[in-house]
Every structure is written in C-alpha cells, then in structure tokens.
Homo-oligomer: A and B are copies of this chain.
Amino acid sequence: METSPRKRIVILGAGFAGLYAALELDRSVAGDPAVEVLLINPQNFLVFTPMLHEVASGSLDPSSIVVPIRQVLRRVQLLQAETTAVDFEARTVTTVHGLERQTRVLHFDYLLLAAGSQTRFPPALRRHVHGMKTIHDALLLRSWLIELLERAELEDNPERRRALLTIVVAGGGFSGVETISAINDFLRDVARHYPRALAEAPALLLVESNSRLLPSFEPALSAYTESRLRAAGIDVRLDTRVAAYDGRILTLDASGESPAPNSLAAHTLIWTAGVAPSPLIESLPLAKEMGRIVVDANMAVPGHDGVWACGDCAAIADPDGKPYPPTAQHAVRQGRHVGANIAAAVRGQVSKIRPFHYRMLGQSAAIGRQRAVASVLGVKFSGFAAWLFWRSAYLFMLPRLDRKLRVFLQWTLEMCFARDTVQLLTVHSVSSGRLEELLDSARAAESASAGAAAEVREDRISDQTVTVR
C-alpha cells in the first residue's frame, strides 16, 4: 500500500548548472517530506574549472579546486552514476554505476537536464590530443609535461629533443590562452632543474582559427593578450587551423599568408577549441539549436511537462534572442534560477515561475607572468592589477571556506618556494598492479553491458527512502 507517494525531482548532471539548481532546491522543497530530490552525476565532485590551468601547471593541488558534492548538500541525494537514457513517455531515466555497470531505472516527476557540454575533438585526432576540461585532463597534462622534460633530459639528438618540447595548444579562447600561459610559466620556473632539456627555450604554439585571441573580450584586450604572449616567447598563429596530427607531426593550415612553416614535429597537442553536446543530450528526441536543447524563457522544455534544461546543454535566449554563452558564470545563475522555478512548479505556485535574465558582470583571463586581462561592468583593465583582480575574484567565487583557504595558502607558499617537478602519474604506475586489473574488469563489464543492453532491471534505491513507480 502506497501512502502519499513523494514527488521526485531528478537532476541530471552536477556541473555548475546542475549543482546550483540542487543547492537551490536543497534550501527549498527538498525539506518537504512529500518531495525528494535526486542528483545524478558520474563524479561525486564539482571541478572549479576557472582554476584548472593552475592544476595543470602544478600551482594548485587538484583536491583544492574540487567541491565535494555530498558535503554541500543536506537533503538532496547524490547518486554517483552515469545516465544512459531518458524515456519521456514512461518518465524514467536509466543509469549505470559501479565496476559491474549495474543498471537502474528511476521514475521522475520533474526532470532537470543539466548534462553540460564537452570539448569537440576532431575524431581523427582524438587519440593523439590532450583535453583540458576535466580534473584528470589537468592532472595528466601536468605529469605529461614532466615526463617530456625527463625524456628530453636523456635525449642526445637535438631534433628529437626539440620535438619533445614543442607543445601546441589549439584554441585561443579562455582555456587555450590560460593553459599555454600556465605551461610557459611552469617551464621557465623549472628550467634550472633540466639544464639539458631546457638549454634552448621550448617551442610553444597557440593556434587559433579566428583573427584574434579571447574573442569574447574587447579587441584592445585581445591585442594586449597577443602581444604579452608573444613577448613571453609564445608563437601565436591566428587565422590558422590544425589540418592533421598523428601524435608526432602537426600540419597547420593558415588562411592568411604565413611565412612560418606549416608542418612541425610536436609530441604534444592540447585541444581546447570547440564545444559539443554530451552524448546523452545528443541522444534525446528534443528540439535543439546547435546541439543545445531549446527551452522557453523560464528554461522549461516546450511540449514536455515538468522537464527543464539549463547550463551548457540548453539554448536559453537572451533579450536579443541569442543564446547565453556556455560559461560557468551563466550556468551558476541559470542553475539557481531554474531551481527556484522548479520549486515553484512543485508547489503549484505558477505565478512564481519567472523568465531568466542575466547581464554578465564581467570576465577575466590569466595570461601568465602575473598578468591578466579583465573587463568588468564595461571597464577594461590589464596587467598585474588585473591579475590581482583575477585571483581575488575567483578566490571569492570558489565555493567553501576550506577550499578558499587551501588555495590561498598554496598561492602563498608558491611565492616563497620553488615550483615542484614531481611526476606523480607515470604510465608505468598506472599500467602495473591493482589499477590495471580494475581497468580490465571495467572494460570487460563495458563490453558485456553493451552486449546485453536490452536487459534492463527495474531497481529501487530502498523501500524506505525512494519509491519507484
């Protein structure tokens, strides 16, 4: 006998959009015994992506810029699982979790799609490029850079040494500019520990298909950024695309007249250009615009009662009818706003469901050597003052006091002590022992579950806390 079945809100994704929606609901309807809120995400943490390049360059420990989701939520339940399907007719989501890839089907009354986005890697290049979007990307990149230095230190052939230390970043947006600047600073700081590898300066290239860097900023700040990067020894190639890369030889395709060679030996290509929807969003039978789910001004999905979408995976029109950009700043506001709208819908207070409007406060990008560019409420500034602003602003925005303290202390220690050259992650360390066995099990389970994808088991979280209908 079911007594007063609870209304269930399911949030898919705990990036900035999904987590801030969950936080909003945690404060409001999640306290109502007739409502339950589930947050489904493959990781149990949020990465504070604006500081990711500082992990890649070793300035910050990864644990300092990740927010443990369970510690910030009191009533919303986190399910650490991947979502593999949504059935809008049956109003269910299908998830898999664990090494054995156990399947679970969960009913929803309200659904928030906040699955974010991913980098759009050219398929032919995928296996050969580093990403720079997840905490693992940053950790792997850091260890990889040190691996290159260690190998170059043992390399007699100057040509091979040069190829080892030719590092190319594709994409001149935030991530690309901040990543190549951080790598450049890191290599300069550790040069004295690698006298052979860094006897010559490493070759750093930034490749951008547009005619300027940081296209979301004013042209003057783009020009300043370009000149600072060039002064720091970074080879900036505008109006240029990566035509091919096989892990060793990179071919560039410059639309303008370029005197520079268009083919070079490089062991590292870091891909930051382009945004693609997550595979889950791609699979959903919903109207989309450039891969993003079309929603109304309230962030509700038209034609699907109780289904909402926000963040990078949703195309929310700004007052001019253009979609808001897929940035953390917007995702946080959209998450909070849609959380309030869903709470109003759950309570039947339709008049409290309000359209989303947000005017960006400003933006700032770190460009290396204690310099940044910033544009805040129409005021542009750059250089050391902008860098201090960058650090203060992001330290303020980083969630949780313990994280703020950790980051602040690490920044302080870094000013007093030399930069680290520890290579924590070696391929050898991963490819031997227990982890390798776990990887093999995971692969086996993945192929098994792909084979038996049809056999989906109805599952319950527990009789007490969750009722699956």
Instruction: Count how many chain A residues have C-beta atoms less than 8 Å from C-beta atoms of the other chain.
Output: 76
Cβ of A75 to closest chain B Cβ, rounded Å: 11
Give the residues in chain B near A70, CB-CB below 8 Å.
193-194, 421
- Contact pattern, A 443-469, Cβ under 8 Å of B = 1, otherwise 0: 100000000000000011110010000
Give the interface segment out of A148-156, A217-225, A319-327. A148-156
* Residues B402 and A150 in contact, CB atoms below 8 Å apart: no
Known contacts A402-B413, A442-B427; A154 and B81 CB within 8 A of each other: yes
A71 touches B154 (CB 8 A): no
A424 located at the interface, meaning its Cβ lies under 8 Å from any Cβ of chain B in the complex: yes
A306 within 8 A of B: no
Residues A433 and B131 in contact, CB atoms below 8 Å apart: yes
In the assembled complex, the Cα of A194 lies from the Cα of B401 at a distance in Å of: 22
What are the residues of chain B within 8 A of A413 when measuring CB–CB? 402, 405-406
Q: Give A91 Cβ to nearest chain B Cβ, in Å.
A: 21
CB distance from A8 to the nearest CB of B (A): 16
Cα(A67)–Cα(B462), bound, Å = 47
Residue in A68, A99, A140, A146 with the greatest tally of chain B CB atoms within 10 Å: A68
B42:A154 contact, CB within 8 angstroms: no
A386 to B310, CA, bound (A): 54
Q: Is A66 an interface residue (CB 8 A)?
A: yes
Given the complex of chains A and B, what is the CA–CA distance between A437 and B401 in angstroms?
38
Query: Is B420 a contact partner of A459 (Cβ separation < 8 A)?
Result: no
A104 contact set on B, CB distance < 8 A? 154
> B439–A427 contact, CB under 8 A?
yes
A422: which of B68, B136, B421 is its contact (CB, 8 Å)? Answer: B68
Q: CA separation between A380 and B154, bound complex, in Å? A: 50
User: Binary interface profile of A, 125-140, with partner B (CB < 8 Å = 1, else 0)?
Assistant: 0111111001111011
Given A61-B63, A97-B154, A71 and B430 contact (CB-CB distance below 8 Å): no
Identify the closest chain B residue to A435 (Cβ): B140
Q: B156 and A44: CB pair below 8 A?
A: no
Q: For the complex, is A203 an interface residue (Cβ under 8 Å from B)?
A: no
Residue of B at shortest CB range from A151? Answer: B98
- Taken residue by residue from 207 to 225, chain A's Cβ proximity to chain B (1 for < 8 Å, 0 otherwise) reads as 0000000000000000000
- CA of A139 to CA of B99 in the docked complex: distance in angstroms? 18
In the complex, whether A80 has a CB less than 8 A from a CB of chain B is yes
Assess whether B435 is in contact with A430, with CB atoms less than 8 Å apart: yes
Closest-by-CB residue of B relative to A77 is B153
Contacts A154-B97, A406-B413 given; does A424 touch B81 at CB 8 Å: no
Q: Is the CB of B71 within 8 A of A135?
A: no
Given contacts A68-B421, A413-B402, A424-B66, A434 and B154 within 8 Å (CB-CB): no
- Report which of B44, B102, B146, B154 forms a contact with A421, defined as CB distance below 8 A: B44
Given contacts A429-B134, A442-B431, is CB(A71)–CB(B196) below 8 Å? no
Q: Is B422 a contact of A63 with CB atoms below 8 Å?
A: yes
B80–A434 contact, CB under 8 A? no
Q: Which 8 A-B pairs have the closest CB atoms?
A: A402-B417, A70-B193, A80-B150, A45-B422, A427-B442, A136-B429, A61-B61, A127-B437
Which A residues fall within an 8 A CB radius of B? 42-45, 61-63, 66, 68, 70-71, 79-82, 97-99, 102, 104, 126-131, 134-137, 139-140, 146-147, 150-151, 153-154, 156, 193-194, 196, 401-402, 405-406, 409, 413, 416-418, 420-424, 426-431, 433-435, 437-439, 441-443, 459-462, 465
Extra contacts, 13 of them, besides A66-B424, A82-B428 (Cβ < 8 A), are A42-B428, A43-B426, A62-B424, A70-B194, A79-B153, A79-B154, A80-B423, A97-B150, A129-B434, A137-B434, A401-B417, A428-B442, A430-B439
